[in-house]
Copies of this chain bind each other. A is one copy, B any other.
């Protein structure tokens, strides 16, 4: 029997989950729940239904795992504890600083409901976190580096769009190759924010807007740009559509450390991702953890879990015997 998946929220991430379910033959999309008028939402999967979000709890027995595809700022802090009472859930909550608080709220709800709730699933937090943990456990006393990009930061793109005179914007975060090389060579550099990443912004400006002022506002924007070397390009709407429609991303987690009685040997552990579509890759990770949530729930486990709590075998559609025979 397939794992019956529900999607709550049908934006980039929700559509990504729909595509990922299609790639996993042991899963089936049953329903999409939306805050919009259901008849206005067209989905791709034949046989799956679109309901208003108010219908979700009523349909809890039709869904094995509900995937929460809202945003971390305002949606998930409310939705995940709410729905973890009724469903096994997976979310991609990515406000790193608020994870402990989110965990506590979701854990209480999931335990109350007897459900499994996986939070902060994706690639960072998610696969990058896992690689930090594994590498730290193997090389205690080493040094961690995370680089992001080259990829589109939606938060930074949005920040630029809020500047007066900006019609559209796309911001790329780019790791500094020289810094990456120094880390890989085991030089253990101390890197400032500016030395690790540069930012490149493509802007469509309003007709007659003061481009010099826009550029200055971008480059000096606190938190977002002021600590970085930023390049700004003004382009046309057509160029934006043609060259910057995608949401690529990626990055590198590197740990260097020493072994030997007198720390005489150096080691470099590197994990990297090169992604054409950030939301679709995140969705693919989420689907693997939805499988784990389903299985852990079947075993009688309850409560909030993160990627740290999930034995890798739960993620695979193969049996333990198959994994040992072919993948170990």
Question: Does A167 belong to the interface (CB within 8 Å)?
Answer: no
Question: Does A151 belong to the interface (CB within 8 Å)?
Answer: no
Selected from B120, B137, B274, the residue in CB contact (under 8 A) with A268 is B274
Measured between C-beta atoms, what is the minimum distance from A183 to chain B in Å?
A: 11
Write out, one digit per residue, whether chain A residues 246-270 have a CB within 8 A of any chain B CB (1) or not (0): 1000000000000111000111111
Measured between C-beta atoms, what is the minimum distance from A104 to chain B in Å?
A: 10
Is B327 touching A136 in the complex (CB atoms < 8 A)? yes
Question: Does A130 belong to the interface (CB within 8 Å)?
Answer: yes
Is B99 touching A324 in the complex (CB atoms < 8 A)? yes
How far apart are the CA atoms of A328 and B130 in the complex, in Å?
8
Q: Which residues on B sit within 8 Å (CB–CB) of A269?
A: 127, 272-273
Measured between C-beta atoms, what is the minimum distance from A25 to chain B in Å?
A: 8
Write out, one digit per residue, whether chain A residues 134-146 have a CB within 8 A of any chain B CB (1) or not (0): 1011111100000
Binds B, one of A79-87, A157-165, A217-225, A311-319: A311-319
Q: Which residues on B sit within 8 Å (CB–CB) of A310?
A: 311-312
Question: Does A179 belong to the interface (CB within 8 Å)?
Answer: no
Selected from B20, B308, B311, the residue in CB contact (under 8 A) with A320 is B308
Is A136 touching B316 in the complex (CB atoms < 8 A)? yes
Interface size, chain A (Cβ < 8 Å):
71
Binds B, one of A49-57, A228-236, A282-290: A282-290
Question: Does A275 belong to the interface (CB within 8 Å)?
Answer: yes
Is B312 touching A328 in the complex (CB atoms < 8 A)? no
What is A's interface to B at a CB cutoff of 8 Å? Answer: 16, 18-20, 22-25, 44, 96, 99-100, 103, 120, 125, 127, 129-134, 136-141, 184, 246, 259-261, 265-277, 280-281, 283-285, 288, 291, 306-313, 315-317, 320-321, 323-325, 327-328
How far apart are the CA atoms of A19 and B99 in the complex, in Å?
35
Is A285 touching B138 in the complex (CB atoms < 8 A)? yes
Known contacts: A134-B130, A324-B99. The answer to whether A19 contacts B261 by CB under 8 A is yes
Is B96 touching A328 in the complex (CB atoms < 8 A)? yes
Q: Which residues on B sit within 8 Å (CB–CB) of A321?
A: 100
Known contacts: A275-B267, A311-B308. The answer to whether A328 contacts B139 by CB under 8 A is no
Is B133 touching A315 in the complex (CB atoms < 8 A)? yes
Q: Name the residue among A129, A133, A265, A306 with the largest chain B CB count within 10 angstroms.
A: A265
Is A284 touching B308 in the complex (CB atoms < 8 A)? no
5 CB contacts below 8 A, A to B, read A100-B324, A132-B327, A136-B327, A140-B317, A268-B274
Known contacts: A16-B259, A259-B284, A283-B259. The answer to whether A133 contacts B313 by CB under 8 A is yes
How far apart are the CA atoms of A277 and B258 in the complex, in Å?
10
Q: Which residues on B sit within 8 Å (CB–CB) of A280?
A: 259-260, 265
Q: Which residues on B sit within 8 Å (CB–CB) of A16?
A: 259
Q: Which residues on B sit within 8 Å (CB–CB) of A132?
A: 327
How far apart are the CA atoms of A133 and B318 in the complex, in Å?
10
Known contacts: A138-B288, A265-B280, A267-B273. The answer to whether A312 contacts B24 by CB under 8 A is no
Measured between C-beta atoms, what is the minimum distance from A308 to chain B in Å?
A: 4
